[in-house]
A and B are shown apart, each in its own frame.
Chain A
Amino acid sequence: MPLPESSDSSPITSAQNTKAEVFSSSASVTEMEAIAKRLRRHIISMTGKAGSGHPGGSLSAVEIVTALYFRLLRHKPSDPGWSDRDRFILSKGHAAPLLYATLAECGYFPVDELLTLRQLDSRLQGHTDRTVTPGVEMSAGALGQGLSFAIGVALAGRLNSQPYRVYVLLGDGECDEGQVWEAAMAAAHFKVDNLVAIVDNNGQQIDGWNRDVMNLEPFNKKWQAFGWHVIEVDGHAFTQLIDAFEQAKSVRGKPTVVIAHTIKGKGVSFMENNPDFHGKAPNAAEVEIALKELE
């Protein structure tokens, strides 16, 4: 992907634009499938080693995050603060293992560091912390805050005439939070069309299925009613995800939400659709089985 011409006179961007190579991976679907498998293995190893963490909601969003970082985003792992970078904001901060694994695979920090997850003095905190981890845009974990933050980032880009796009990943359970809908209203009101929200719609939250805990349906119609362009995809199908993100680029005057239908714990048989693994790490035996399944 070529570096876009800089049409931008903002003082905070110009000096840094030439500093480092843009990570312009245009990975093929086959390559992304291999990357996704590596990320899943990292997630299992990291949470297994830590003895805690959130594997279920990390595994469900692997394809979403892989497609973004290895196909869509213009970013510079050697210069995480590059002002024109496309932003990926993880609102569902408990999927931190997935984001860390992705950032490491992109080269933001060594892959070896992944196994320090959740340890004292590690840069890889239990939930994302923008003050310590290179490439992390937001301190998240308190759910419902990322979409608002993303609107601010998108508005700043518009004010500065910067070309970047903003992607924010929410959980479906997270959409119980009222702030999400305050933000949904505002994003449409402010017409932030450089913003794409992705909902990792794995259907489950800690206490069970969403429909039993707090019904979100009609989910698609809710976003439409709030003024969003809505696209529904199979969240494990790279081609569908990439098509949706490309389509969103041409939507003008409104934000886009990609509702990505996913399976919690995807890729590990005993974790799939099992809410127990929302916030529980696999034990040593489970790690062994899971890694075997992901060979």
Chain B
Amino acid sequence: MPNAPVPPSLPALFLGFLSVGMFGFGGVLPWARRMVVEQKRWMTATEFTDMLGLCQFLPGGNIMNLTIALGARFHGAAGSVAAFVGLMAGPVATVIALGVVYDRYGQLPTVRHAFAGLAAAASALVLANALKIAEPLRTNPIGIAVALLTFVAIAILRLPLPPVLPVMAAASTVLMWRFRR
């Protein structure tokens, strides 16, 4: 630890996440970590990992939750709003601009074909991410069974998520507890 952490000001929170939002292609978290821990030193790597643990535990986008928790830590509700708006402003404006362009040119054959390719690779990104998340289950037969059952309920039976999620989460937690190693 060469230097002690330096708490950010309110505008620094906003500007910091504004830049993270605009540069974070293909996942924002690694960029956020780099800025918060390595570049600006707002907190230590351990503190960051700890906070991320909370954000991954709760529902909602991990990075959105992180801006809320990190902002709250330094400046309460105002900090949360500053960090969150900073993160979202650029990407939301960009994606709406892309939507306008797509509406205007989306029917051109070249654009349509480019989109078919892009969409195929974008689905692959979700699959790769799912496989990475599922990888630690390899040695956990109960975990595999729970994941498979969830998959069948949602992807094949097309059951609504609001009842499936709490039932599966409760069953899974009880099973993990009953057969814990």
Q: Do A and B come from one complex?
A: no
CB within 8 Å of B: which residues of A? none
CB within 8 Å of A: which residues of B? none
